[in-house]
Amino acid sequence: MDPIRIYSPEGAVGRPTRALAASPAVLTGLRLGILDNGKPNAAPLMERMGEQLAQRMNLELVGVFRKGSAATPCEEPLLVEIAESCDLVLTGSAD
């Protein structure tokens, strides 16, 4: 059989992806926040991790922030507040 040409099914990507911020080389003295995704087990897990990190690395634990719903992105004003008050954020997705 002869070769044929077909179209790609994907479509172009409509938004450029953003690079993650570089991780800090030294954690000592930085301000740590926790963004709770709203799932039942997220806060207990991340709070415990935050406490351990703060203790071991001498971080300032700013607190736990909670977005409106696990099913929707974090609200922009809350992201701004977190960016202003924290140097590091612990967060996660899923259950």
Partner 1 sequence: MSEGPQVAAVEAPAGVEPEIELADASPEALLELFEARGWGDGLPLVPPTQERVERMLASVGGEAAAGEVVATLPPRFGRATRHSLAVNAVLAGCPEAVFPVLVSAVRALGDPELNLRGVNATTHPVAPLVIVHGEVVARAGFNAGLGTFGPGNRANATLGRAMRLVLLHIAGARPGDGDASTQGQPSKYAYCIAENAEANPWESYPRSQGVDAPSAVTVYCGENPHNFHDMENSEPGPILDKAASVMATLGCNNAPISSAEFFVVLGPEHAATLAGSGWTRRDVQSYLFERARIPAGEFRRAFEVTVRRPWFEALRDADPMPITDHPDNIRVLVAGGPGKHSCVIPSWGMTRSVTLPLEP
- The residues of the shown chain that bind partner 1, judged by CB under 8 A, are 1-15, 38-40, 69-73, 93-95
The nearer residue to partner 1, 1 or 21, going by C-beta atoms, is 1
The nearer residue to partner 1, 12 or 25, going by C-beta atoms, is 12
Give the nearest distance from C-beta 81 to partner 1 in angstroms: 22
Give the nearest distance from C-beta 65 to partner 1 in angstroms: 16
Q: Which token pair is 82?
A: 């977190």
With vertex at residue 94, the alpha carbon angle to CA 43 and CA 78, rounded to the nearest 5 degrees, is 60
Instruction: Provide the Cα torsion 20, 21, 27, 32; round to 10°.
Output: -80
Helix (H, G, I), strand (E, B) or coil at 18: coil
Give the nearest distance from C-beta 91 to partner 1 in angstroms: 14
